[in-house]
C-alpha cells in the first residue's frame, strides 16, 4: 500500500534530500472524501525558497552541460519508473483528490506520455538554419536554457500538472523549484522520489511544499528565478505577472476558463449529451477546460434539456470506480460554489438540478456538491462570466449559429470551446471564428494531448503555450548564430 509509505509529515525535496521547513510549522492535508486529516505537510516560507533557489542555481550549469539527448535519457527513466509505479501514483492522486482510481490511472498515463514526449525532444530540440543576405555568412538558431525555473501548480489534476511543467523545464537544461499545490502534496513528493531514483542529479529538481502566499509568492519574487510558469487562477496569475514583470522575468500563465459547448439543432444529440456530461462534470468540474456554459439551439432546447437533466440526476457521485464524479478539493471550494449558486438564484436563475451539498451518510463528511445545472442566467450575470471550478454548468438558449458564436465569444475568458453539429460549414466557421486557444468539433471542451500546445486567450493566459513542442519556447532562450567563412582561406 503506497499510502502507508507517505511520510506522516510530507517534506520538501531540496538538493536531493528530504527536509522539513525552516519554520518547523506544518499544516493538515484533509481527505476530500471523508474530511479527515490524511497527513501533515511542511509549511515552507521564504527561507526555504531561498535555499531551494540557491541549490538549483548551483546545479544548473552541470545539468545544462549535459547534452539534450542525455537529459532526455534521464527524463525517459523518470517516465519508465512512473509506468512501473503507475498504480501507486494513481492511488496517491485518488487519495488526495477524491477522484476514482480509474480516473487517476488515466491522468497518470497522460503524465507519463508527457514525460515520454519531452524525453524525445532531447533528440529533436530543433533550431532553425536559414539563409543570409551576405555571401559566405551562415545563419542559424540554437536553444539554450533560461536558468532556474519556478513552477507553481494547481491541485486539480496533480500528477499531470507536475509533468506538464517539470519535463519541459528540465529537457531545456533548466533546473527547477516546483511549488506543489497545497491540496496535493504527496503526489508531488512521490514524483520527487521517482526523479531521485531515476538519477536526476541533486539540486536539479527541488520540490517545495507550502501555501501560495507563504511559499509561492517568494518563489515568484526571487531574483534567482529566471522563468516562472504558473497554472492556477486568473486572479493569482495577474499578481504573479505583476511581480515577475517588475524584474522582467519570463512568465508563462495557464489560467482559468469559462468554456462553452454549443449544441446545434443538427447535432447527434446522444453524442452531444455524452460530451456535455463529461466536459461539465468529470473530475467534479475541476478542469480549466470544463464546459461551464452549454449553449443550445432553441429548436432542440426542450429535448436536450430534458434528457440532460435526467442523465445528470443519474450520475453517481463518490470516490469509487463506478462513480462518475467525486468531491471538490476542499471545504473552501465547496463553500465558494454554494455561495455562487445562492447568488445566481437571488439574481433570478433557476436551479434545474443539484445546487446543494450532498448530506446523506455516504457523502456528508466529504466536500461533495450535487452535479448542478442552472438555467435562465443572463449572459453577463456573475455566474456566466466567472469561473466556478466545480460541478456546475449553465444552460443558455439561442436562436441560431450567429447568436451562439456571439455568446461564446462574449466572455472574459478564451481557453477552450466546442460545437456539436452535423454541418461542415458551421464546424469550419466555428473553429475559425471562436476566440479560444482550443476549438473542438463534436467532442468535449477538455482532452488536450501532451504533444499539442495548450493555452488560452484573454483572461485565460498570457499567450504562452505548454506543453507540446511549443513549451520549449517557454523554457529556452533562442540564440542567433552567424558564421562568416572566407573562401580566400581555403
Ligand atoms: P490558485 O490560483 O488559488 O492556486 C494555484 C497555485 O498557486 C497553488 O499552488 C497556490 O498555492 C499558488 N498560489 C496562490 N497564491 C499565490 C501567490 N500569491 N503567489 C504565488 N503562488 C500562489 O488556483 P486553484 O484554485 O488552486 O486552482 C484552480 C485554478 O487553476 C482554476 O482557475 C483553473 O482554471 C486553473 N487551472 C488552469 C489550467 C490551465 O492549463 N489553463 C490547468 C489547471 C487549472
pLDDT digits (tens, 9 = 90+) for 437-450: 999 999 999 989 99
415 pLDDT above the threshold of 90 = yes
Tell me the residue range of the domain where 199 lies.
2-255+461-478
Query: Domain check: are 265 and 237 in the same one?
Result: no
Which residue has the least CA distance to atom 40 on ligand 1?
Answer: 254
Query: Domain check: are 86 and 231 in the same one?
Result: yes
The SS3 assignment for 161 reads helix
Query: Domain check: are 264 and 126 in the same one?
Result: no
Kindly state whether residue 452 falls inside one of the protein's structural domains. Answer: no
The confidence score (pLDDT) of residue 352 equals 97
Query: Domain check: are 315 and 353 in the same one?
Result: yes
CA–CA distance, 103 with 260 (Å, rounded to integer): 23
Instruction: Identify the weakest region by mean pLDDT among 1-15, 78-92, 270-284.
Output: 1-15
Mean pLDDT value of segment 372-392: 98
Query: Domain check: are 136 and 223 in the same one?
Result: yes
The confidence score (pLDDT) of residue 268 equals 98
Catalytic residue among 121, 254, 387, 466: 254
Distance (Å) from CA 154 to ligand 1 centroid: 5
Contact residues of ligand 1, CB 6 A cut-off: 152-156, 179, 181-182, 211-213, 216-217, 220, 231-233, 236, 239-240, 254-257, 288, 387, 389
Kindly state whether residue 384 falls inside one of the protein's structural domains. Answer: yes
Give helix 68-84 / helix 101-121 axis angle, nearest 10°. Answer: 160
Q: What is the CATH number of the domain that holds 469?
A: 3.40.605.10
Edge-to-edge, what's the strand order for the sheet holding 372-375? 350-353, 372-375, 392-398, 291-297, 259-263, 416-420, 438-441
Kindly state whether residue 175 falls inside one of the protein's structural domains. Answer: yes
List pLDDT tens digits, range 322-356: 999 999 999 999 999 999 999 999 999 999 999 99
Percentage of residues of the chain with pLDDT beyond 70: 100
Counting DSSP H helices and E strands in the chain, the numbers are 15, 22
Query: Domain check: are 30 and 44 in the same one?
Result: yes
Give helix 86-97 / helix 158-171 axis angle, nearest 10°. Answer: 130
Kindly state whether residue 451 falls inside one of the protein's structural domains. Answer: no
The confidence score (pLDDT) of residue 452 equals 96
Kindly state whether residue 489 falls inside one of the protein's structural domains. Answer: no
Distance (Å) from CA 157 to ligand 1 centroid: 12
Q: What is the CATH number of the domain that holds 306?
A: 3.40.309.10
310 pLDDT above the threshold of 90 = yes
The SS3 assignment for 150 reads strand
Query: Domain check: are 121 and 227 in the same one?
Result: yes
Mean pLDDT value of segment 82-109: 98
CA–CA distance, 336 with 348 (Å, rounded to integer): 19
Mean pLDDT value of segment 414-432: 98
In sequence order, the β-bridge partners of residue 375 are 350, 395
List pLDDT tens digits, range 247-288: 999 999 999 999 999 999 999 999 999 999 999 999 999 999
Q: Assess contact for 255 and 237: CB atoms under 8 A.
A: yes
Question: For the chain, what is the domain count?
Answer: 2
The confidence score (pLDDT) of residue 267 equals 98
User: Quick one: DSSP state of residue 59?
Assistant: H
1 pLDDT above the threshold of 90 = no
Kindly state whether residue 60 falls inside one of the protein's structural domains. Answer: yes
Edge-to-edge, what's the strand order for the sheet holding 137-145? 129-130, 137-145, 476-484
The SS3 assignment for 84 reads helix
Atom of ligand 1 nearest to the CA of 234: 32
Kindly state whether residue 456 falls inside one of the protein's structural domains. Answer: no
Query: Domain check: are 233 and 282 in the same one?
Result: no
The confidence score (pLDDT) of residue 423 equals 98
Kindly state whether residue 9 falls inside one of the protein's structural domains. Answer: yes
In sequence order, the β-bridge partners of residue 205 are 176
Mean pLDDT value of segment 133-151: 98
Query: Domain check: are 130 and 20 in the same one?
Result: yes
Query: Domain check: are 318 and 330 in the same one?
Result: yes
Distance (Å) from CA 208 to ligand 1 centroid: 15
Query: Domain check: are 233 and 106 in the same one?
Result: yes
CA–CA distance, 415 with 424 (Å, rounded to integer): 23
Catalytic residue among 172, 214, 264, 288: 288
List pLDDT tens digits, range 460-475: 999 999 999 999 999 9
Distance (Å) from CA 234 to ligand 1 centroid: 8
2 pLDDT above the threshold of 90 = no
pLDDT band of residue 4 (cuts 50, 70, 90) is: confident
Residue 394 a catalytic site member = no
Query: Domain check: are 29 and 75 in the same one?
Result: yes
What string of DSSP letters covers 333-399?
Answer: HHHHHHHHHHHHHHTT-EEEE--SB--STTTTTS--B--EEEES--TTSHHHHS---SSEEEEEEES
Residue 254 a catalytic site member = yes
List pLDDT tens digits, range 358-380: 999 999 999 999 999 999 999 99
CA angle 289/292/294 to nearest 5° reads: 115
CA–CA distance, 457 with 445 (Å, rounded to integer): 15
Mean pLDDT value of segment 406-419: 98
The confidence score (pLDDT) of residue 236 equals 98
List pLDDT tens digits, range 194-238: 999 999 999 999 999 999 999 999 999 999 999 999 999 999 999
Model-wide pTM > 0.95: yes
Mean pLDDT value of segment 15-21: 98
Amino acid at each position: 500500500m503506497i499510502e502507508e509509505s507517505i511520510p506522516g509529515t510530507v517534506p520538501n525535496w531540496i538538493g536531493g534530500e528530504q527536509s522539513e521547513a525552516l519554520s518547523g510549522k506544518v499544516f493538515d492535508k484533509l481527505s476530500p472524501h471523508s474530511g479527515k486529516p490524511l497527513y501533515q505537510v511542511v509549511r515552507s516560507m521564504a527561507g526555504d525558497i531561498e535555499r531551494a533557489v540557491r541549490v538549483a542555481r548551483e546545479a544548473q550549469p552541470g545539468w545544462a552541460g549535459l547534452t539534450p539527448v542525455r537529459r532526455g535519457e534521464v527524463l525517459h527513466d523518470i517516465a519508465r519508473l512512473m509506468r512501473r509505479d503507475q498504480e501507486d501514483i494513481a492511488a496517491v492522486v485518488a487519495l488526495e483528490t477524491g477522484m476514482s482510481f480509474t480516473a487517476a490511472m488515466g491522468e497518470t498515463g497522460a503524465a507519463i506520455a508527457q514525460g515520454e514526449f519531452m524525453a524525445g525532444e532531447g533528440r529533436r530540440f530543433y533550431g532553425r538554419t536559414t539563409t543570409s543576405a551576405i555571401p559566405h555568412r551562415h545563419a542559424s538558431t540554437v536553444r539554450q536554457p533560461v536558468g532556474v525555473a519556478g513552477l507553481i501548480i494547481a491541485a486539480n489534476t496533480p500528477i499531470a500538472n507536475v509533468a506538464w511543467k517539470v519535463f519541459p523545464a528540465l529537457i531545456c537544461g533548466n533546473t527547477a523549484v516546483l511549488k506543489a499545490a497545497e491540496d496535493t502534496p504527496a503526489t508531488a513528493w512521490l514524483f520527487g522520489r521517482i526523479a531521485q531514483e531515476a538519477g536526476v542529479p541533486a539540486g536539479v529538481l527541488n520540490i517545495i511544499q507550502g501555501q501560495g502566499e507563504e511559499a509561492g509568492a517568494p518563489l515568484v519574487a526571487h531574483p534567482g528565478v529566471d522563468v516562472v510558469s504558473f497554472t492556477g487562477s486568473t486572479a493569482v496569475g495577474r499578481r504573479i505577472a505583476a511581480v515577475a514583470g517588475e524584474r522582467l522575468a519570463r512568465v508563462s500563465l495557464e489560467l482559468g476558463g469559462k468554456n462553452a459547448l454549443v449544441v446545434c439543432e443538427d447535432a447527434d444529440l446522444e453524442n452531444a449529451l455524452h460530451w456535455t456530461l463529461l466536459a461539465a462534470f468529470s473530475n467534479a468540474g475541476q478542469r480549466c477546460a470544463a464546459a461551464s456554459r452549454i449553449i443550445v439551439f432553441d429548436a432542440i432546447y426542450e429535448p436536450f434539456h430534458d434528457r440532460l437533466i435526467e442523465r445528470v440526476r443519474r450520475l453517481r457521485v463518490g470516490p469509487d470506480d463506478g462513480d462518475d464524479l467525486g468531491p471538490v478539493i476542499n471545504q473552501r471550494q465547496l463553500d465558494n460554489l454554494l455561495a455562487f449558486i445562492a447568488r445566481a438564484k437571488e439574481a433570478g436563475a433557476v436551479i434545474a438540478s443539484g445546487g446543494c451539498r450532498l448530506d446523506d451518510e455516504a457523502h456528508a463528511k466529504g466536500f461533495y456538491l450535487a452535479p448542478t445545472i442552472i438555467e435562465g442566467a443572463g449572459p453577463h450575470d456573475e455566474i456566466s462570466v466567472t469561473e466556478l471550478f466545480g460541478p456546475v454548468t449553465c444552460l443558455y438558449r439561442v436562436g441560431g449559429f450567429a447568436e451562439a458564436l456571439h455568446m461564446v465569444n462574449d466572455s472574459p475568458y478564451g481557453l477552450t470551446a466546442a460545437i456539436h453539429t452535423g454541418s461542415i460549414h458551421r464546424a469550419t466557421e466555428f473553429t475559425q471564428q471562436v476566440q479560444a486557444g482550443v476549438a473542438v468539433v463534436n467532442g468535449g471542451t477538455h482532452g488536450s494531448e501532451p504533444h499539442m500546445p495548450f493555452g488560452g486567450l484573454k483572461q485565460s493566459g498570457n499567450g504562452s503555450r505548454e506543453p507540446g513542442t511549443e513549451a520549449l519556447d517557454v523554457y529556452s532562450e533562442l540564440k542567433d548564430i552567424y558564421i562568416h567563412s572566407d573562401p580566400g582561406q581555403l
